[in-house]
Structures are given as structure tokens and as C-alpha cells.
Amino acid sequence: MTIRKVPFYRLNLSAAEIRMVTDVLKSGWLTTGKVTRAFEDAFALQVGSKYAVALNSGTAALHLSLVAAGIGAGDEVITTPYTFVASAEAIIHTGAKPVFVDTEPDSFNIDLSRVIEKITPRTRAILPVYIAGLPCDLRELERLRRRYRLIIIHDAAHALGASHQGRPVGSTSDYTCFSFYATKNLTTGEGGMVTVNSKKKRDSLRLLSLHGMSKGAWKRYSTGGDWRYQVLQLGHKYNMSDINAALGLAQLRRFKEMQQKRRRLVELYHHYLKDIDEIELPVEPESTTHAWHLYIIKLRKPGLQKRNRVIERLKKQSIGTSVHFMPLFLHPYYQKGLRLDRHDYPNSYNHYRRVITLPFYVDLHEREVKQVATALKNAFGSGWGK
């Protein structure tokens, strides 16, 4: 019998999304324009912020937020080593120094109770990362922000649709950065967004996103535009095109439906995996809405060889998986350049040795969830403990 492969990710696009992108291609205007502005407005409404600025990646969103906040050489930004490299490299590219705080023992989120230990006169900002779509305590972040006069730059690359104590991620103070990479809950192919509640911040982000050129320069080749422009500030090339924005705008219109499908898949996974004693299932804490970008299980007992053996056994049964993430202290650049040592971050290393990310996307079927569950049970079969 042929076993059907369950890939780690499978793209799902509707006819409406394809049509909106095609309409932009036919319009004769491909780069930043009216569609991008419409996407920004709709996105701000979705997350409850006053403004949104569309960019060409989530990494650009992080970097531009740091730059717009005035963070640079000599400054320190507190973040977590349990993240994708974009979180830290954005800080480094500004000339600032990333300062790392370990995660909580039971979650991938930065341990806010230990942040105070790392605050110095040079500390300018905290950059928390919401792995898989689970936000940390937004009220505690706000308390730290006010007490120490810090800037909060939320790395919400996974967290569109998440909230904490009724506050949507993206609606809070300072900067919230989202990613629309191909595998995200909402995709533009490549893209990102920053949400803010200050017009001054929005205008600064827009200026910096397109070479620091004066307002309206993006439409200088349109009917009624003007070839004259001025470069007011050293900027970057981070703007989003209307092609990408069209895909995002169309996906935003069915975002609620897609999130409902994700939550249904969570229920199915919970149901079919609940009897596997060797693993822990992801949770959604009280007063928190998880965005469910990823479905990450943990082995109850840490061990790289055991974890990797499970992944290999799943692969042999045609199940695609991944690991989110390899902490920064395991990468040569960060080990050498920043002298990071895994022993300084025991919780992060413990998470890493236990996690497996399972297939999880709106196009996943119940029979495939059952297939993944069966494969996992087989993986923990004969010879598992050796």
C-alpha cells in the first residue's frame, strides 16, 4: 500500500486571491501604491491599531522599527536566544548590542521576571518574540516599559490573531512587527508589517522604508505625480509592492475563516495525540488567545538523540516535520561573535532538545492528522527508549 506523504507545509490560495493579484498585474501599477495603502488600512483595523506600514519582510519590520526608535551604536536591546536569527540580526545591524534573557521554563517566551537583571543605563528596548503565536504578558511588558522608560518592539512574526487579556497583539504601545512569509497564517509571499498608534511613528517608518524620500515620492511616476523629490533622511529599500499587498488583502478577507480552521486542527491534534504518554501538547493559557501559527509538541524527557530519532522515524513514514528553533547560542556566529554559551540559557536549551513541529496549515485534513498521530505512535514503538 502506498503511503501518502504529509508535507510539513502546503500552500492554500483561493481563486479570489489569484484574481486580486492578477488584477494588479493587469493594472500597470506593480510597486507600492493604492493597493498597499488599502492593505495597511485593513490590517490596522484587523489588529486594533491606528496605523500600519507594509514592508517587504518581517525582518525589515524589525530593523526599521529599531531604526525609527533611534536605537543604534552603544545601545542595548533585551531579547531572547530562543528565536529565528532575524530577531537578533536586526538589532546588530543597527549597531546596538543584543542582550539575552532565557525563556520561561514552561513556554518559549522570554522570562519577564528576569529582564530586570539585564537592564543597564544603556538599555533602550525590549524585543520579545512570540514563538508559534503565543504572546507573553502584555501588561507586564507595559509595566516594564513605563518603569524603565523603555521601547517595546514586539516580534509578532507568528502572532497575527493573538491576544492577551483582551488586548490584540498589534494594538499596544510602540512597535509590533508581523511577517507574511509563505508559511505564515497570512501570506504575501514575502512581506511584513509594523503597527503603531502614533502618526509621527508611522510617518517616520514610511520615510525610512523608501530611501528617506519625501512624502509622495512613491507615486512620482503616476498620473498627477511629480518627478521632484527630496531625500530627507538616510533610508532603506523596504517598501511592499502592490502585487504582494493584493495577496495579503485578499487573505485578510478570509483570515477569520482560516483561523477557525487552525483552531479546529488544534482540537483534532489534541484529540488524536492525547494518549501518547511520551509527549506534551501545546497549551493555550487562560486569558490568552493563541494565534496557532505552529503546532509544536515536546518530548517529556529531553534528549537530542531521542528527539532526532523520532523525526527520522516520522520521515520514514512520509511525515514532514521541523524544529522551531535552533537557539542562537547553537550557531557559530553567535557563539563566537557574542560569546553565547548554552549553559547560560538552560530553559532554552531544554526546549530545543524536546521540540518537534508537526504539519499544520489550513489545507491539512483530518485523515492526515490521524496519519501523523499514527506515525508518532509508531515512532515511540519498539526500541524507542534505547
**Residues with a known catalytic role:** 184
| Strand-by-strand arrangement of the 355-358 sheet | 279-280, 295-299, 355-358
- Name the nearest CA neighbour of 62 among 167, 181, 230, 145: 181
Angle between helices 242-253 and 15-27 (to 10 degrees): 150
For residues 246 and 257, what is the distance between their CA atoms, to the nearest angstrom?
Answer: 18
**If you ran DSSP here, which 8-state letter would residue 74 be given?**
T
End-to-end CA distance of the chain: give it in Å, rounded.
29
- Spell out the residues 6+ positions from residue 375 whose beta carbon is closer than 8 angstroms to its own: 313, 314, 317, 318, 319
Q: Which long-range contacts (CB under 8 A, 24 or more apart) does 146-150 make?
A: 148/119, 148/123, 150/119, 150/123, 150/124, 150/125, 150/126
Q: Which helix (H) or strand (E) holds 358?
A: strand 355-358
Please provide residue 5's backbone torsions phi and psi, each rounded to the nearest 5 degrees. Answer: -75, 135
Report the helix count and the strand count for the chain, using DSSP H and E: 12, 13
Upstream peptide bond of 325 is cis (omega within 30 degrees of 0): yes
Sign of the torsion angle spanned by Cα atoms 70, 74, 77, 80: positive
